[in-house]
Amino acid sequence: MLAGQDPPSGSTIAEDERAAAEKEFSEHIVASGEFDRADYLDYVAQCDLVVSCAKHEFFGVAVVEAVASGCIPLLPNALSYPELIRPPWHSTTLYEPGTFGTRLVDAVRRIDQLRDEAVGLSQTMRRFDWATMAKVYDDRIAAVSARLTTAA
């Protein structure tokens, strides 16, 4: 699955790379492009791996959703990823600069072994689920509100 918005108009490198990936891996791509939420989650649940080559990422919502759905992540050992993925899974899921291609080929070959190595990882991502986070935010907002009320 190649998910996400199409590259911006005029972004020929991104357009060319996406077209090359779609051509090279066409027999393995079950869907490409933007999806409504339900379809997106259905497609993610069918995937084995989620990969990122991001050079800029504040949080990684799509990665968190995919890992929570059971995908094995292959992510740069940078940005927010070492904080999202807990240390016991770093060697399985994080790659160093210049090793992405090798690690990806290895991940595809060893997907069953990686599943064994990543046991419990999907559950840890569920700590970011809205049902959990809503209460955290509510509690924090209430605490700030209480401090402001007593300070006034």
d(CA 135, CA 152): 26
pLDDT at 5: 59
CATH of 2-151, one of 3.30.70, 2.60.40, 1.10.3470, 3.40.50: 3.40.50
pLDDT bucket at 66, cuts 50 / 70 / 90: very high
pLDDT one-digit tens code per residue, 12-29: 766 777 778 788 888 877
Which distant-in-sequence residues (6+ apart) come within 8 Å of 35 by Cβ?
3, 43
Q: Which helix (H) or strand (E) holds 102?
A: helix 100-109
- Inform me whether the pLDDT recorded for 11 exceeds 70: no
d(CA 3, CA 67): 15
Domain ranges of the chain: 2-151
pLDDT one-digit tens code per residue, 97-135: 999 999 999 999 999 999 999 999 999 999 999 988 999
pLDDT one-digit tens code per residue, 35-49: 888 998 999 999 999
- Inform me whether the pLDDT recorded for 7 exceeds 60: no
Q: What is the DSSP string of 11-47?
A: -HHHHHHHHHHHHHTGGG-S-EE---HHHHHHHHHT-
